[in-house]
């Protein structure tokens, strides 16, 4: 009998090598990074840019395996569960790396509101290495000093003699000390003298974006003019006598005991100025601004997000923002302004103030006033009033008149009432519109109040105790402030009814 035929044993397909090849390639690249042969940041950039090439390589290897299995008559090997997870991992990690590579990390680091470089080390990697240096330069008399420092604090003090001295404290962030030494050598500060312009450059970008922070203490002759450009770090100036121009992005600017004009251009920074014999100009965008004891004019223009405090300003004060337009002649007391309130005492007009969504309180006001507000209450305490006009929409108005103060009153309100402590003022309250008029004493200035959807109160005030004005110092080279223009006499305007 013929023996039965034994069916051929099916050939088991070979295991796919696509996954191992991709893993080996990735392992080699990361090994080069950990060994320091290839910069780890550059390796990350390569992966973010070329990760789809790994999928292409995987696909080519699978195609080669398929053709080889077909030629041998073997079934083709599929991707498998492990291959699927590896492919999903590559796609997810690649997409994340690509999006991360498009982020401006340099700009992001400059705007992160955390501590100093130690906190940045934990987030962005690397270690911090410290270095120090000193520079000196004889400078011509009457020179202006320009200081540029992208990252680091700047402190300017008065020097003895005509020599500018600079003390440098540097922090360098790097993967290893050898790299830090290289970056330090490329970022040495420099001093260049051209005619009567002395330029001190901290040179923090000399090695590219390598995380170099340079703090500098500068000692210059007292009468030197200063021009400072700082991107990140505090700026402090003490006891100087020349004009100062500071362009600053992030950090605090502190200037004290200064003779000369001060001009600040801020970007998300804060400013604290005191004892200034000269004019002060602040523009741009700032968080907190405090200006105290200024013998010149103060001009603020821009957006001020947190608070603004002014104390004892001898000449014109002007304030311009998207919500508030204000100017007056002198401030003998204090003014505080934030997003919802404006409070001031002992100020002198002529004053005009236009704002919205603020509660306003002015005490001890002397001189003319033209005030417009909306969605807020207005309280004004008069001291030696001039012509006053107050227009308020959707808010109450309260005015206090001191004893024996002559004034002619006219008041109107729509959908509100009028209250008065004076018998000489005749009040006519009606359902939709109320009015009041009368004279206290003779030949007094005009007090006109127009209110929409609010109450008007005319109260008897007390004798305001105004602090003495600060003494005017001898004339300085500072440019005198521009006096505020006198306001015309107010006119009573009828309150229009809403449709």
> Which tens digits make up the pLDDT trace of 319-346?
999 999 999 999 999 999 998 899 999 9
The per-residue pLDDT for 488 is 46
**Which tens digit of pLDDT belongs to each residue from 380-404?**
999 999 999 999 999 999 999 999 9
Percent of the chain with pLDDT over 70: 79
Taking 70 as the threshold, does the pLDDT of residue 164 lie above it? yes
Q: Distance (Å, rounded) from C-alpha 373 to C-alpha 316?
A: 22
For the chain, how far is it from start to end, CA to CA, in angstroms?
116
**If you search the block for the tokens 């999928």, which residue do you land on?**
55
Nearest one of 262, 331, 255 to 477, comparing CA atoms? 262
H/E element, 44: helix 40-50
Q: Distance (Å, rounded) from C-alpha 399 to C-alpha 491?
A: 17
User: Using alpha carbons only, what angle is made at residue 130 by residues 126 and 132, rounded to the nearest 5 degrees?
Assistant: 150
Helix, strand, coil percent content, the chain, rounded in steps of 5: 20, 45, 35
Confidence band (pLDDT; 50, 70, 90) for 230? very high
**If you search the block for the tokens 């569960």, which residue do you land on?**
81
Query: Do strands 190-194 and 252-259 pair parallel, antiparallel, or not at all (unpaired)?
Result: unpaired
The per-residue pLDDT for 161 is 84
Mark residue 280 as left, alpha or beta (left: phi above 0; alpha: psi -120 to 50; beta: remaining): beta
Confidence band (pLDDT; 50, 70, 90) for 122? very low
The helix/strand/coil state of 350 is coil
- Residue 38 buriedness (CB in 10 A; 0-12 / 13-18 / 19+): middle
Q: Distance (Å, rounded) from C-alpha 29 to C-alpha 427?
A: 88
Question: For the whole model, what pTM was predicted?
Answer: 0.70
8 A C-beta contact, residue 293 and residue 311: yes
The per-residue pLDDT for 33 is 66
Q: Helices marked H in 127-217 — which ranges?
A: 177-186
**Which tens digit of pLDDT belongs to each residue from 456-493?**
999 998 754 444 444 444 433 334 334 444 444 444 44
**Which tens digit of pLDDT belongs to each residue from 37-71?**
665 666 677 777 777 887 787 778 777 777 777 77
8 A C-beta contact, residue 351 and residue 342: no
The helix/strand/coil state of 34 is helix
* Domain coordinates in residue numbering, the chain: 18-101, 126-233, 346-499
Q: What's the whole-number mean pLDDT along residues 8-26?
A: 63
Q: How many helices (H) and strands (E) does the chain have?
A: 7, 29
Q: Distance (Å, rounded) from C-alpha 300 to C-alpha 264?
A: 10
Taking 60 as the threshold, does the pLDDT of residue 273 lie above it? yes
Q: Distance (Å, rounded) from C-alpha 478 to C-alpha 470?
A: 18
């Amino acid at each position: 009998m013929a023996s039965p035929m034994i069916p051929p044993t099916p050939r088991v397909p070979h295991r796919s090598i696509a996954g191992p090849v991709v893993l080996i390639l990735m392992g080699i690249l990361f090994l080069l990074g950990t060994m320091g042969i290839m910069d780890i940041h550059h390796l990350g950039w390569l992966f973010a840019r070329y990760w789809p090439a790994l999928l292409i390589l995987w696909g080519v290897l699978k195609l080669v395996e398929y053709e080889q299995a077909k030629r041998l008559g073997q079934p083709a090997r599929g991707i498998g569960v492990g291959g699927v997870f590896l492919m999903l991992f590559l796609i997810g990690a690649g997409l994340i790396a690509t999006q991360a590579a498009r982020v401006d990390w340099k700009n992001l680091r400059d705007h992160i509101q955390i501590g100093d470089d130690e906190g940045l080390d934990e987030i962005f990697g690397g270690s911090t290495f410290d270095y120090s240096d000193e520079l000196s330069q004889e400078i011509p008399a009457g020179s202006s000093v320009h200081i540029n420092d992208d990252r680091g604090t700047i402190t300017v003090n008065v020097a003895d003699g005509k020599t500018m001295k600079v003390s440098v404290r540097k922090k360098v962030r790097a993967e290893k000390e050898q790299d830090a030494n290289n970056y330090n050598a490329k970022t040495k500060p420099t001093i260049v003298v051209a005619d009567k312009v002395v330029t001190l450059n901290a040179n923090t970008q000399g090695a590219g974006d390598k995380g170099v922070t340079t703090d500098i203490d500068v000692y210059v002759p007292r009468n030197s003019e200063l021009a400072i450009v700082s991107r990140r770090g505090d700026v402090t100036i003490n006891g100087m006598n020349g004009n100062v121009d500071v362009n600053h992005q992030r950090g605090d600017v502190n200037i004290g005991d200064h003779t000369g004009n001060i001009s600040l251009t801020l970007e998300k920074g804060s400013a604290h100025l005191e004892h200034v014999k000269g004019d002060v100009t602040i523009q741009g965008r700032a968080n907190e601004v405090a200006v105290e004891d200024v013998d010149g004019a103060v001009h603020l223009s821009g957006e001020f997000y947190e608070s603004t405090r002014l104390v004892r300003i001898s000449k014109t004060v002007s304030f311009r923002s998207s919500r508030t337009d204000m100017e007056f002649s002198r401030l003998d007391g204090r003014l505080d302004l934030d997003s919802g309130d404006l409070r001031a005492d002992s100020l002198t007009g002529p004053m005009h103030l236009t704002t919205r969504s603020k509660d306003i309180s002015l005490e001890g006001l002397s001189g003319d006033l033209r005030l417009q507000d909306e969605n807020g209450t207005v309280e004004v305490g008069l001291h030696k009033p001039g012509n006053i006009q107050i227009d308020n929409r959707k808010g109450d108005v309260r005015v206090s008149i001191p004893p024996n103060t002559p004034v002619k009153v006219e008041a109107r309100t729509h959908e509100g009432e009028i209250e008065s402590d004076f018998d000489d003022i005749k009040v006519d309250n009606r359902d939709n519109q109320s009015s009041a008029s009368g004279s206290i004493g003779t030949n007094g200035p005009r007090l006109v109040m127009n209110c929409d959807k609010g109450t008007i109160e005319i109260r008897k005030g007390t004798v305001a105790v105004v602090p003495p004005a600060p003494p005017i110092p001898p004339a300085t080279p500072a440019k005198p402030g521009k006096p505020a223009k006198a306001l015309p006499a107010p006119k009573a305007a009828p309150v229009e009814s809403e449709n």
